[in-house]
Amino acid sequence: MKRVAITGAGVVTPIGIGLKAFWEGLMTGKSGAGQISHFDAANFPTTIGAEVKGFSGGDYLEKKEVRRTDLFIQYAVAAARMAVEDARLDVSDAEKNNRIGVLVGSGIGGIQTIERQFGVLKEKGPRRVSPFLVPMLIANMASGYISIVMGLKGPNTTVVTACATGTHAIGDAGRIIQRGDVDVMLAGGSEAPFTPIAVAGFCAAKAMSTRNHDPEKASRPFDAERDGFVMGEGSGVVVLEEWEHARRRGARIYGELVGYGLTGDAYHVTAPDPEGSGAIRCMRMALKDGGVEPGEVGYINAHGTSTFYNDKIETLAIKEVFGEHAYRIPVSSTKSMTGHLLGAAGGVELVATLLSMREERVHPTINYEEPDPDCDLDYVPGKPRQHSFTLALSNSFGFGGTNACLLVKKP
């Protein structure tokens, strides 16, 4: 089976746009949370979120295309362009582009467009609804637009698996390369969920923090006083490349994608299996796929949502998989800073993992202040840590009991 290198990365996040700003945000323990500004949320149980600041779609798309695309598509195109530039990948050769594909997912898709155009329908009637409504809202148009603007003619597909979307997208894209179907895949996730209906829905599900008076402290994974996640937005995209293809063109390699696990809890639409069986099997599958023993893993980027049950069950699952070694592995939650980017989380968190591997420095879990007896691992509280490691696991678990894990190796 062919090997898969990771040669480029791009991010749009609440703590920075681009790798340099993102890494600085991670290393300084920056929180991207604040009061929601996309709409007036004053009457909502949750009024806070982690929004992207300073983004302009016109920097990555033509003006007419900005008007014809939902924000989640714009974030995806931006992250993909950054990733291709970072990989120094030439996408100008039409024939070679037949061997480059795109697999970028979204958990919610164009919900901003749906809500906006429903208002038009209700107030002005069906003849005033935008002819671009459908291509603006469907989740596969993140991949579609990336393919169109870059002329990439390989596989053009998507996945929609809630909060595991970005991780599944990268794992599935790696499989496409391993099969020999293409030489290169752009993969990851994108999300722009800040609308009244989406926020109201998550509030009704009692999933989000109501620490409205102190937004920067609201996302506190594994902390005893956690009370829900903080919604985030953005995109994370990586360039996956067949190993020899990357070596022949002299590409810089961040890491090798060596293992992929994906399982289902078959338990509940939102809650994790209380025994963590799906997460346990998923991590073990990734390790088996990579031919790796648990004791070889040196870092885990946790799903770490800041919800009561998810953090507790993920901790339980890690201890079951890694035994006593679990207490020796740094485990950090990117979501403590970025908030929960839903379908984009897995892409952004893999980028954080790769940067940590390269820089030999792992980012902290901020706001971990009150220990929870059920969450007793090394969560790298408060500040970054020098740490050299060869193998890392990145976890994502989503509504519907869907689980995905990626195992990456230092080149």
Q: Could you report the per-residue pLDDT of 322-347, keeping only the tens digit for each?
A: 999 999 999 999 999 999 999 999 99
Give pTM, 2 decimals. Answer: 0.98
pLDDT value for 365: 98
How would residue 1 be classed by pLDDT, with cut points 50, 70 and 90? confident
* Residue 69: predicted pLDDT: 98
Q: What phi and psi, each to the nearest 5 degrees, are found at residue 262?
A: -150, 125
With vertex at residue 174, the alpha carbon angle to CA 298 and CA 7, rounded to the nearest 5 degrees, is 70
CA dihedral 284, 365, 306, 280 (to 10 degrees): 10
Check residue 200 and give its pLDDT: 98
Contact 75, 55 (CB under 8 A): yes
On the 0-12 / 13-18 / 19+ scale of CB atoms within 10 A, 128 is exposed
Q: How far is CA 58 from CA 12, 63, 69, 77, in A?
A: 14, 6, 11, 11
Intervals of CATH 3.40.47.10 along the chain = 4-248, 259-409
Q: Which of 315, 307, 276, 301 is closest to 387 using CA atoms?
A: 301
CATH class for the region spanning 4-248: alpha beta
Phi, psi of 409 (to 5 degrees): -125, 140
| pLDDT bracket for residue 299 (50, 70, 90) | very high
Mean confidence (pLDDT) of the chain? 97
Range 270-297 average pLDDT? 97
Q: Tens of pLDDT along 378-399?
A: 999 999 999 999 999 999 999 9
Please give the average per-residue pLDDT across 134-139, as a whole number. 97
| 400-409 residue pLDDT tens | 999 999 999 9
Catalytic residues: 163, 303, 340
**Nearest alpha-carbon partner for 307 in 225, 197, 404:** 225
Three-state DSSP at 135 gives helix
User: What is the mean pLDDT of the segment spanning 233-251?
Assistant: 98
Alpha carbon distances (Å) from 321 to 279, 315, 344, 377: 9, 10, 26, 13
Q: Which candidate, 364, 310, 359, 317, places its Cα nearest to that of 338? A: 364
Contacts of 163 (CB under 8 A, 6+ apart): 107, 303, 305, 340, 342, 343, 345, 346, 396, 397, 398, 399
Angle between helices 345-359 and 19-27 (to 10 degrees): 80
Phi, then psi, of 195 in degrees rounded to 5: -135, 160
pLDDT tens per residue, range 204-234: 999 999 999 999 999 999 999 999 999 999 9
Place domain 259-409 in its CATH homologous superfamily.
Thiolase/Chalcone synthase (3.40.47.10)
* Residue position matching structure tokens 């038009």: 120
Q: Please state, in angstroms and rounded to a whole number, the distance separating the CA atoms of residues 298 and 395.
A: 14
> Residue 94: what pLDDT?
87
Which neighbouring-strand residues pair with 239? 8, 186
